[in-house]
Amino acid sequence: MSVLRPLDKQPGLNTATILLVGTEDALLQQLADSMLKEDCASELKVHLARSLPLPSNVNRPRIDLIVFVVNLHSKYSLRNVEESLHHVDATFFLGKVGFLITGAGREGHCSIHWNTVVRLARTYRSPLLFCDLEVEGFRATVAQRLVRMLQICAGHVPGVSALNLLSLLRSSENPALEDV
């Protein structure tokens, strides 16, 4: 199972699963805790991974949303994410993938320019979120946003699909056709 496909498994009843991919384990753990503290009518499952491909021996539920976490302070995290992106099926990018950028607050420590990640998000046509995961308040806010996105991507919100959300998110951030 080297490539993640979005719809190859049956969805669990009332279950929504999010996969957080990133090299910063502590930050991911904190984000996962914040998300689980959120009030949500469906059951949330948070999977954390350093990179893809995921080991195939584990029995895991259908993944509804993948969030790639990039830390602007380390080029390694960006490279890790770029390599992991190859193991995701193209149909995942129809709204079920998001990029979360952390570390933009401290400009002096940034070794990656934010334009790089903006271009990355534009290439993959996926929404881009900025958040300083080390600050409690921002983390809670972005956890709330991710929970809402996850609910939509899992199909728990009637009338809104992941693709719908993608085109709604896109109109304000990045225009539809951009030459990259």
Partner 1 sequence: MEKQPREQAVTEPADSGAGGEEGGSPQVAGARTARPEDRLTLLLRLRAQTKQQLLEYKSVVDANEEKTPEQIMQDKQIEAKIEDLENEIEDVKIAFEIKKLALDRMQLSTALKKNLEKINPKTSVLMDNMKHVLKLNKLIMKSQQESWDLEEKLLDVRKKRLQLKQASEGKLLEIQTEKNKQKDDLASMENSDKIKTIQQNLQMEIQITTVIQHVFQNLILGSKANWAEDSAFKETVLQLEKNLTMM
Verify binding: residue 50, partner 1, rule CB under 8 A.
yes
Name which of residues 134 to 173 contact partner 1 (CB under 8 A).
154-159, 161-162, 167, 171
Among 4, 24, 34, 54, binds partner 1 (CB under 8 A): 54
User: Which SS3 state, helix, strand or coil, does residue 119 take?
Assistant: helix
Mention every residue, 6+ apart, whose C-beta is less than 8 A from residue 68: 21, 22, 81, 84, 85, 97, 98, 99, 100
**Closer CB to partner 1, residue 8 or residue 109?**
8
In the block, tokens 């979005």 appear at 6
| Residue 49 is a binding residue for partner 1 (CB under 8 A) | yes
Rounded distance, CA 21 to CA 83, Å?
A: 11
- How many C-beta atoms surround the C-beta of residue 149 within 10 A? 24
User: Smaller CB distance to partner 1: residue 4 or 128?
Assistant: 4
Cα distances (angstroms) measured from residue 119 to each of 71, 90, 125, 157: 15, 18, 9, 30
Q: Shortest gap between Cβ of 112 and partner 1 (angstroms)?
A: 20
Cβ closest to partner 1, residue 114 vs residue 144: 144
CB of 32 to partner 1, least distance (A): 5
Q: From CA 159, how far away is CA 152, in angstroms rounded? A: 9
The answer to the question of residue 79 lying near partner 1 (CB under 8 A) is: no
Residues of this chain that interact with partner 1 (CB under 8 A) are 7, 11-15, 32-33, 36, 39-55, 58, 60, 91, 154-159, 161-162, 167, 171, 176-177
